[in-house]
A and B are shown apart, each in its own frame.
Chain A
Amino acid sequence: MLETYLKVALRNIAKYKLVSLINIVGLAVGLAGCLVIAIWVLNERSYDAFHEDADGIQMVLAQGSFKNNPSTPFPLAEALQAQVPEIEHAGRYMEISDALVGRPGRSFYEYDIYAVDPTFFDIFSYEFLEGAPDTALRDMSSVVLTRSVAEKYFGQDGALGQVLTWNRDRDFTVTGVLADPPGNSTLGFDILLPFAAELKVLEDRGLNCGWGFYAPNTFVRLHAGASREAVEAKISDFLIRRDENEDAHLSLLPFCERRAFFWNSGTYILVFSSIALFLLAIGGINYVNLSTARSAERATEIGIRKVSGAGRQDLVVQLLSESVLQASLAMAVALALVEAFLPLLNENISLDLSLGLVEPLIAIPALLLLTLVVGVAAGAYPAFVLSSLRPVQVISRRPQAGTGHARLRRALVVVQLIIAFSLIVGTQVIHGQMKHLVSMDIGYDRTDLLEVPLRQFGGAHYETLKTELLRGDGILGVSASAARLPYFGWSTGTANWTGRDLEQDLHVYINLVDYDFVETLKLDLVAGRGFSREFPSDANGGFVINEQLARIMGPETAPGSRFELEGRSGSIVGIVRDFHFQPASRSIGPMALYLANDASWIRSMLVRLDPADRDGALQRLAETWGRILPDFPLEHRFMDEKVASVYWQTSRLGALAASFSVLAVAIAGLGMFGLASFTAGRRTRELAIRKVFGGSPMDMGLLLWTEYAGCLVTACLIATAPVYFGLQSWLQNFVYRIDIGIGIFLQALALVAGITLLAVSWQTFEAVRRSPAAVLR
């Protein structure tokens, strides 16, 4: 029997090509969206699960004035391991500065270098291709590489025992080579150094790496059977018990949840899951609408089957097998679409998703089940409608009562239009907000401003570089900074001034800079001046602050006001208009700049180019750098590109969402096109009679469009308010946000109306064009 059903279903698909195409394409696009989201979610959930007994690994978070702070005190790991019996291993993990790493003839800047304790390999599971976990990081000058990094420097020759030089002055011996960690790992290192070695570097620079300095991440592995909650309760006040001045609690984050916790991928997944489900809903609605609209055409077949002895159940099974078949074809198309478009998505979300991520033993039954569910869901109502046709009405050609179905079809079209309209408005606003973050005024001129990283090696040569660069044409200004702009995040609670309310908790963001910083960035001075060599006191006690700090300090604040910070006592020399030194999702906080007296603080050079001689200036920079730092390759980047790159992924995702919404509208449009063809077909006779009695094509066009125009207006009326308030609430997450004007709604309305008109007009044109003589014969 099933074979017969499938045969008829295939013949129906071939006979009603347009309808089948619309159904299959609509469902396929929705299914493809769902598949991608499913793979994405599975991929997100798989993060860090490859470690043995991954559930036993926990990350320690500090809950103080900063919530969920992953940075913890340096001595914490050792103390936890010693004092909490449930903790089997504890270890630290800290990102350290980029470095020029090399061996004779082969040098590269490395960006993902981490310092870890030897217990790192007891906590996490990494496969050693060379060396052994017990010995790998025991020595202060040892280094562990991933395989790809090892091959980059040493090819296939084996890296163990080889020496790599750091910034041309420190040697490390390779004591281990690890298999490349899988892509779904949140610990993204290329090179591991002994934590003790990095600690020594910091301490040699005079930093007190004690309990008050929060920097490394701390990870622990619990003994088998130990309860995370119990350990968390036990260590919650660990820091407070140690030191009465310390008010940070500790909490534990299961390591496997680290990805979801810090990367906020949930928001994107939510947005794209909604879009995928909406796409599927639009495809499903097309199926329901086109199938019920076609019920008149299939009525004869259904009637004959009933007359021939088919029960309602037989017909339901037959009709559902047709919808499941279409869903199966849609699934095949969807798999092809996923295969074709995953690379594009991967590029946009910087992931490596593939169909292969899912175990075939799980994937195949899951796909079959999804196909069945979608097929049955799409086919249930049409099957109910068609199987309820009474044979006597069919056989005697009496019209079926169809008003209810027509009303339902209109309601479903309204639902489609609501989805399409909301998606367009929603994604336009998201896209607009992301564009706004990239293009908004950040408070200084970022075009033709170059950032040149000096890293640990360049600070000492900065003054020479600056002098040489300013000597030639094309370079309008040179300055430097300890933080690598556009962002800096160091803050201190040590700010003080006359009349400060000491009860008030205040963290001031700081950056150590060179002379000419204000001028090179073209920061707007509200009062006073930038740092100047003409005022020797600037070097030891001058501060340039922003308006926000000035506001906090009070209305009396002006150049000359006394100010203290980080043990420096001096006065304010200038106040600059607030500029963005943190991502635009955060509000501008109080900030102070002061001069870096020690060249070792200088990590970044800022160069203002003459736009008229940009190429010449870049060439001059390269020549000068090559002369002064011949052993270190020059790297530089324009500030506007750096700002854009921060939002690159977000803007691409916004654009991607916007494209999906256009796709949704297109599929809804296809559905309306199909539906309009039935409406026009059904009304051919009516139109012919109207034409005979003088109806113009325009009158008849309007007649057919009115139905859809009503749906469109209804949809927009229903959708506008919820969409507006929903988006307003989303925009509240941003300090600097766009306004949702009426224009965005009108644009969406115009787009949806345009597509509706296009979909309906063709069919109307066809219907109106037919000769009444042929129709009424």
Chain B
Amino acid sequence: MIRTTGLRKVYRTEEVETTALDNINLEIDAGEFVAVMGPSGCGKTTLLNILGLLDRPTRGSYLIDDRETSDLGERQLSAIRKTNIGFVFQSFNLIDELTVFENIELPLLYLGLSRSERRDRVMEQLERFRIGPRRDHFPPQLSGGQQQRVAVARAVVVRPKLILADEPTGNLDSVHGEEVMGMLTSLNEEGATVVMVTHSQTYAECASRVIHLFDGKIITENLVGMNNA
């Protein structure tokens, strides 16, 4: 489903040049659950942003479903993103001015679905993630766990093939962290491809494969339960 070849990302300021990713060659099949690990500043989030089409590589090729994305325009990238990719962030990134219902509904608005279809889909997610009673609350009125449940619901409401999660448990206690991991696992079992950045070895073990980054390079790739793939 995903293939990167020679992916490189360099950040430049007037005086400093920082290589965030260097020669990343990666293949992820549909239905895989991949965890990306590594110390702070190793390029995990940059990789996730490029995979999510939020950022462009400086060099290299990135194919989604065999379609090269590096030469696509902003509008085309946006079209792929809104139909295929769901995002979950460490800091939830919910819009404070929208209710729970409206936050989940947000991606559906940009898909141009009818009001009734949007409502049905949002209701389905509210029920699935057990946040129905909170549908009219605003994010600041929710606990961290509840907020992340809303964020996951928003990520999956468009039924994306790919879910990108950037330290989804980073701001949660262990109970809520496990709850979110349970959700991602079950989404993966239902067929979604999941790429998750995490610092937690425990949660990484939920994945089928773990990639270790260091200074912008992949240093190891392990299938969970095996050493040195």
- Chain A residues contacting B74 (CB-CB under 8 Å) are 311-312
Given known pairs A306-B78, A392-B49, the reply for A300 and B93 (CB within 8 Å) is yes
Given known pairs A304-B93, A308-B110, the reply for A392 and B98 (CB within 8 Å) is no
**B49 contacts A8, C-beta separation under 8 Å:** no
Does residue A309 face the partner (Cβ distance < 8 Å to B)? yes
Name B98's contact: one of A8, A303, A307, A310 (CB within 8 Å): A8
For chain B, residues 48 to 82, give those with C-beta under 8 angstroms from any C-beta of chain A. Answer: 49, 52, 54-55, 74-75, 78, 81-82
Does residue B154 face the partner (Cβ distance < 8 Å to A)? yes
Residue pairs across A and B with Cβ atoms less than 8 A apart, 26 shown, are A4-B109, A8-B95, A11-B97, A12-B97, A301-B95, A303-B93, A304-B94, A304-B95, A307-B81, A307-B87, A307-B93, A308-B82, A308-B110, A309-B82, A309-B83, A309-B107, A309-B158, A310-B110, A311-B75, A390-B54, A391-B54, A392-B54, A395-B54, A395-B89, A395-B166, A396-B49
Distance in angstroms between the alpha carbons of A7 and B105 in the assembled complex: 14
Number of interface residues of B (CB under 8 A): 28
Does residue B111 face the partner (Cβ distance < 8 Å to A)? yes
Does residue A1 face the partner (Cβ distance < 8 Å to B)? yes
Given known pairs A12-B97, A301-B97, A395-B89, the reply for A308 and B106 (CB within 8 Å) is yes
Distance in angstroms between the alpha carbons of A227 and B210 in the assembled complex: 93
Name B97's contact: one of A8, A303, A307 (CB within 8 Å): A8
Smallest CB-CB separation from A300: which chain B residue? B93
Name A1's contact: one of B81, B109, B158 (CB within 8 Å): B109
- Chain B residues contacting A310 (CB-CB under 8 Å) are 78, 110
Distance in angstroms between the alpha carbons of A310 and B109 in the assembled complex: 9
Smallest CB-CB separation from B111: which chain A residue? A309
In the complex, how many angstroms separate the beta carbon of A391 from the nearest chain B beta carbon? 5
A307-B81, A307-B87, A395-B54 given; name 5 further pairs at CB < 8 Å.
A307-B54, A308-B106, A309-B107, A309-B111, A310-B110
Residue among A15, A304, A391 with max Cβ neighbours from chain B (10 Å): A304
- Chain B residues contacting A396 (CB-CB under 8 Å) are 45, 49
- Chain A residues contacting B22 (CB-CB under 8 Å) are none
- Chain A residues contacting B45 (CB-CB under 8 Å) are 396
- Chain A residues contacting B154 (CB-CB under 8 Å) are 308
Distance in angstroms between the alpha carbons of A213 and B200 in the assembled complex: 108
Smallest CB-CB separation from A14: which chain B residue? B97
**A309 contacts B55, C-beta separation under 8 Å:** no
Distance in angstroms between the alpha carbons of A311 and B81 in the assembled complex: 11
- Chain B residues contacting A300 (CB-CB under 8 Å) are 93, 95
For chain A, residues 289 to 320, give those with C-beta under 8 angstroms from any C-beta of chain B. Answer: 300-301, 303-312, 314
Where the two chains meet, the residues of A that have a C-beta atom closer than 8 Å to any C-beta of B are 1, 4, 7-8, 11-12, 15, 300-301, 303-312, 314, 390-392, 395-396
Where the two chains meet, the residues of B that have a C-beta atom closer than 8 Å to any C-beta of A are 45, 49, 52, 54-55, 74-75, 78, 81-83, 87, 89, 93-98, 102, 106-107, 109-111, 154, 158, 166
**A395 contacts B110, C-beta separation under 8 Å:** no
**B78 contacts A309, C-beta separation under 8 Å:** yes
Smallest CB-CB separation from A397: which chain B residue? B91
Name B110's contact: one of A8, A309, A390, A392 (CB within 8 Å): A309
Distance in angstroms between the alpha carbons of A130 and B163 in the assembled complex: 88
- Chain B residues contacting A8 (CB-CB under 8 Å) are 95, 97-98
- Chain B residues contacting A307 (CB-CB under 8 Å) are 52, 54, 81, 87, 93
- Chain A residues contacting B102 (CB-CB under 8 Å) are 4, 7
Residue among B52, B87, B96, B106 with max Cβ neighbours from chain A (10 Å): B106
In the complex, how many angstroms separate the beta carbon of A665 from the nearest chain B beta carbon? 33
The 5 closest A-B pairs by CB, nearest first: A309-B82, A309-B110, A308-B107, A392-B55, A392-B54
In the complex, how many angstroms separate the beta carbon of B119 from the nearest chain A beta carbon? 13
In the complex, how many angstroms separate the beta carbon of B9 from the nearest chain A beta carbon? 11
Given known pairs A8-B98, A312-B74, A392-B54, the reply for A305 and B106 (CB within 8 Å) is yes
**B97 contacts A304, C-beta separation under 8 Å:** no
Smallest CB-CB separation from B151: which chain A residue? A304
Distance in angstroms between the alpha carbons of A90 and B70 in the assembled complex: 83
- Chain A residues contacting B82 (CB-CB under 8 Å) are 308-309
Residue among A12, A15, A301, A309 with max Cβ neighbours from chain B (10 Å): A309
Distance in angstroms between the alpha carbons of A156 and B68 in the assembled complex: 92
Distance in angstroms between the alpha carbons of A305 and B106 in the assembled complex: 7
In the complex, how many angstroms separate the beta carbon of A10 from the nearest chain B beta carbon? 9
- Chain A residues contacting B78 (CB-CB under 8 Å) are 306, 309-311
Distance in angstroms between the alpha carbons of A167 and B106 in the assembled complex: 84
- Chain B residues contacting A392 (CB-CB under 8 Å) are 49, 54-55
Smallest CB-CB separation from B55: which chain A residue? A392
Smallest CB-CB separation from B92: which chain A residue? A304
Distance in angstroms between the alpha carbons of A309 and B74 in the assembled complex: 11
In the complex, how many angstroms separate the beta carbon of A60 from the nearest chain B beta carbon? 68
Distance in angstroms between the alpha carbons of A307 and B110 in the assembled complex: 11
Given known pairs A307-B81, A309-B78, the reply for A314 and B110 (CB within 8 Å) is yes
In the complex, how many angstroms separate the beta carbon of A692 from the nearest chain B beta carbon? 27
